[in-house]
Structure 1
């Protein structure tokens, strides 16, 4: 009979079940808080399992990739780029057309503290240096 009543009412309002003598649900804040904590813990656990599965799959893929690299003599991208960069630097060592570095060596060294006048004095001819020193 209970089945027939529920089927007849379908998905009616939730209070209809209580009016017909169904179980009354007490809303306990502690029980709700506990359920929420359990749900959060379950979500964290699922996320950890997903990350572990992903890590395992990526490790398996890397093993397969390395096998292919070994078979065909291909280098990893990072290693190949580093070797190409080193070859470019060595080829351009002492060349007039070599790429310029961002900061030339010796610029910005804090070990030698000279003021601008001392630096300028080095490049002036002797008689001018004597005149400016006086």
Structure 2
């Protein structure tokens, strides 16, 4: 019969492609699609950055309004002024101000007393009496 002929069983030429067979791949077309995708990603990233920059600018306007209302300073400005005050205070003197001296770096007398107290704890009673006098 006619319907068993080989040509009729194959079907249209695109059936193989639809079922996952070999496709004609055009390297330039794929390259072009990849470039378009990369460009779209770059554009989305730029839009996102612009959106967040705008939001941050609006927030900064609000922050500045609060600073003006309550007489506050920006953190960076406050730190810079504190550093300038420390420099000005220590500029004319030979010694640094008390705040600038780290703990444990000054006043050796206190350390010696604490060492003597420690030694006294380990000495027997008669020796402690002799050293106290």
1:93 maps to what in 2? 91
Shift >3 Å, 4+ stretches: 17-25
2:15 maps to what in 1? 18
In the TM superposition, residue 61 of structure 1 has moved relative to its aligned partner by 0.8
Gaps of 5+ in 2: 1-13, 101-133
1:36 maps to what in 2? 34
Moved more, 34-43 or 90-99: 90-99
The count of residues paired between Structure 1 and Structure 2 equals 84
Q: What pairs with 1:67-86 in structure 2 (closer than 5 Å)?
A: 67-86=65-84
- Could you state the TM-score of these two structures normalised by the residue count of structure 1? 0.54
The alpha-carbon distance between structure 1 residues 96 and 21, as it changes in their structure 2 partners (threshold 3 A), is closer
In the TM superposition, residue 96 of structure 1 has moved relative to its aligned partner by 2.7
SS in 2 for 1:95: coil
2:128 maps to what in 1? none
Tell me, yes or no, if the aligned pair for 2:17 and 2:23 is still in contact at 8 Å. no
- Could you state the TM-score of these two structures normalised by the residue count of structure 2? 0.55
Write the deviation string for residues 9-35 of structure 1: whole angstroms up to 9, x where unpaired. Answer: xxxxxxxx8349679742111110110
Gaps of 5+ in 1: 1-16, 101-134
In the TM superposition, residue 90 of structure 1 has moved relative to its aligned partner by 1.5
